[in-house]
Amino acid sequence: MMRLIIYFAVIYTTSLMALSQEAVVPPVLITWRFPVTVSAAESEEVKEQADKLAVSLGKPNASRVNENPVCTMWVSLEKWAPNPRSQYYLINIQFGGATLTATNLEQLKLGVQHIIKLRQAGDDGLQALPIGIITNLPINNK
């Protein structure tokens, strides 16, 4: 009898381990109710990308502000890259707002396109975005 109990315990545990390795956890979504903002010092090309993003999220356009007001989708160019050949965008979406930072206009356009692809229509007609960090910066564990 004990062997039978151990046998079923091993089978049950093994099946749970296989299931947990194959299971896909759906992303946590946030209904996007915040404005899209860009620094007043950014170029017109950056503002155009912010406007494109704002419209895709159901807003009329992006606002120019002097500094990040928080509780917003903050769009900006960062003139620094960890390696001159490592141009990238970095998207950080949280419950209280988000940032889209890119090293150049080309990367900013890619980041905007990525967010547009990720958005999902909510039941209330508003757009929803997944919580998390998204980047095209190569991550090397070596």
**Which tokens sit at 103?**
């090293």
pLDDT of amino acid 22: 53
Element (H, E) at 114: helix 105-118
The average pLDDT across 106-122 equals 95
Strands 127-130 and 97-102: unpaired
Global confidence as pTM:
0.78
Is the predicted pLDDT of residue 11 greater than 60, yes or no? Answer: no
| Domains (range + CATH), the chain | 29-135 (3.30.379.10)
Is the predicted pLDDT of residue 12 greater than 80, yes or no? Answer: no
87-108 per-position pLDDT tens digit: 899 999 999 999 999 999 999 9
List C-alpha distances in Å: 101 to 18, 53, 88, 106.
Answer: 38, 13, 8, 12
| Residue listed under structure tokens 């998204």 | 134
Please check whether residue 118 is in contact with residue 110, taking contact to mean a CB–CB distance below 8 angstroms: no
The average pLDDT across 8-19 equals 45
32-63 per-position pLDDT tens digit: 999 999 999 999 999 999 999 999 999 999 99
Please check whether residue 115 is in contact with residue 89, taking contact to mean a CB–CB distance below 8 angstroms: no
DSSP codes of every residue in 2-66:
HHHHHHHHHHHHHHHHHHHHH--PPPPEEE--S-EEEETTS-HHHHHHHHHHHHHTT-S-PEEES
Phi-psi label, residue 58: left if phi above 0, alpha if psi -120 to 50, beta otherwise: left
